[in-house]
Each structure stands twice: as structure tokens, then as C-alpha cells.
Structure 1
């Protein structure tokens, strides 16, 4: 089967767009830690392309044209999401998660920890992974957009400019 009907291709475009948007919303709602080290869009495209390819190969109800349309659609949506997030502040805020300050100047930021579903033990583990045995040597710990934890040592914090834009940096840390 090379081509069935234009209606089938239109269905792939509509359902594919809706499914892509739904998956992004679900990933954004579930939080940064869900992806842990993966960019949301890389994950979406990787899984979707693999699934689409398998469907094209294994499901005789899906024509080749529909499958290719679905693959092209995923590539176009990925390009649009990347373009929007890189060029527009509002788009970036909608499409990607922002980093969150979880620990600053010897204090665990409880509200941020609860909001991001990160435990004090996970903060300590991140600190230990940098080779530090003393929490007092740490100026800040940030939950990054990809779900990783960045640890900034007191002797490396400088003017705190790397934390600009987090919105919850203490006044004494600016």
C-alpha cells in the first residue's frame, strides 16, 4: 500500500499533532525529575519516531504515505518547538522547564523541594557526588531543566551571576 486516501493522511496530521501536544503537556505536568537528564523533546521524538517506524513496518492498516507523513510531522513539530523555545521568552517558558534553586547559603528551600518533589537526601547525594563531605562548603544546589542537580561550591560562586533569573536567589546572594 503506497497511498489510501487524503482523509487518512489528514487524520495522521490531526491525531499526530494532538498526541504530540498531549505528550508534551503530560511531561511538563509530571515535572523535571520525570525525564532525569533527557530533554523532553529529544525523548518525545525518539520514542515517537521509534513507535511510528514500528507501526509503519508492522501494521498493514497504515499506508506508507501515512507513516511518512507521521514521521515528517514529528520532525516539523520538533523543529517548531525548538524554534519557539529558542527565539521567544514566552515560548521557552511554555515549552521548557526553568531551573529551580533548592538549597542556598546553608538553607534547604523547603517550598521548592516540595514543589519539585526532591528530598533533602537527594540534595546531600548530589553534594557528595561532587566530592564534598560538608554541606557548609556549598553555596547553592539547583535543579536544572533536564532534572540534574547542579552543586555550586562557596569558593566557586563568585558574584552569583550563574543563578540570575532563578527568581528565588536570596538578596545577599545577588
Structure 2
């Protein structure tokens, strides 16, 4: 019972600490994040299993972590308020082609990292972006302004239909002009 309680408390404590630590940088761990994650696992090991170095103690701690995580994910995802509490809210980092510097400073992001992430999503330049939002999980969602959206197959079909209709109308007009009036 002690191992169960220890594991649950460590899980909750780490969840709170990671939430306070902020969003992951553009859904990627940088080298500092990796070092922290590796050290966190080592630091809390004894807090989870205590002085028990047995296989059963370790497996029990691991099983409790997997179960509590599964339960927490299901609980949190059912309630939007809990999602906001545990994960936070999306943060706009680019609006109308301009970087929101205050948001970058608060998130601890570098402009160059945001620009690179935007390029991976199809923006050649920040000025092409209507909105770029960093989600709580670290994913950057980029919305290009209307002039820089890629054409879809539907767009091409509509343009093709419009051009064909225009050509048919011009041919009908030309045929009407070239046909002599009936005598």
C-alpha cells in the first residue's frame, strides 16, 4: 500500500511541476529538456519505490504509474476545465504576419525556432502567416493568410470549370457573329 501511495503522490507532484514548467518547445525536447527528464526519473526513483530494490517493487511502481496515467488521461479528456488546468491554453505566437514577442519571451522560445517550425508547415515567410498558435502539447498550428494557401484539387476543378464556361461563351458569341443572318 505504501508503494501505491508513494507512486501516486510522485505522479501528481511531477504532473504539477511539469505543468508549471510550461509548454514543450515546439513539440521537441531540446538538450536541456532531455537532461531534466533523465534526471527527474533518477531523482524520483527512491520516492516511488523507497528502499525496495526488488523486481516486484520496481514492477509494482511501474504498473501503478501506467494505470494512474491511463486513468488521469481519460478523466482529464472528459472535462474541458481539467484539460485547461493540467495542460494550459494555446498561445498565439504569430498574428497577422507579426511575431508576438511577449508570448515568445513568456514561453522561452527563440524567434529562429518558431520561424523554422513555421517553414516546416509550409510558410516561406512569417508575413504569409495569418495565425500561428502553440498548443499546450507543444504542436505549432500555422494558418496561412488567404493569398498563400495552397490550391486544392477542388480549387483547380472550379477554376477549370470557370475557364471552360468562359471559352464556351466566347465560342458561342463568335459563332453567332460569324453565322450569316437567314435570308
Greater percentage in helix: 2
Partner of 1:17: 8
1:96 aligns with 2:72: no
Q: 1:143 to 1:35 in 2, by over 3 A?
A: closer
User: Shift of the alpha carbon at 1:65?
Assistant: 4.4
1:115 aligns with 2:106: yes
RMSD between superposed Cα atoms in Å: 3.1
Q: CA deviation at 1:77?
A: 0.8
Q: How many residues align?
A: 134
For 1:153, the equivalent position in structure 2 comes to 144
Please report the TM-score for the alignment, with normalisation by the length of structure 1.
0.62
Equivalences for residues 11-160 of structure 1 within 5 A: 11-33=2-24, 36-37=27-28, 61-155=52-146, 156=149
Greater shift after overlay, 62-71 or 111-120? 62-71
Give the number of the structure whose alpha-carbon radius of gyration is greater.
2
CA–CA distance in structure 1, aligned partners of residues 122 and 85 of structure 2: 35
Question: What is the aligned partner in structure 1 of residue 170 from structure 2?
Answer: none
Structure 1: segments with no counterpart, 5+ residues: 1-9, 39-43, 157-174
Q: Distance in 1 between matches of 2:123 and 2:59?
A: 51
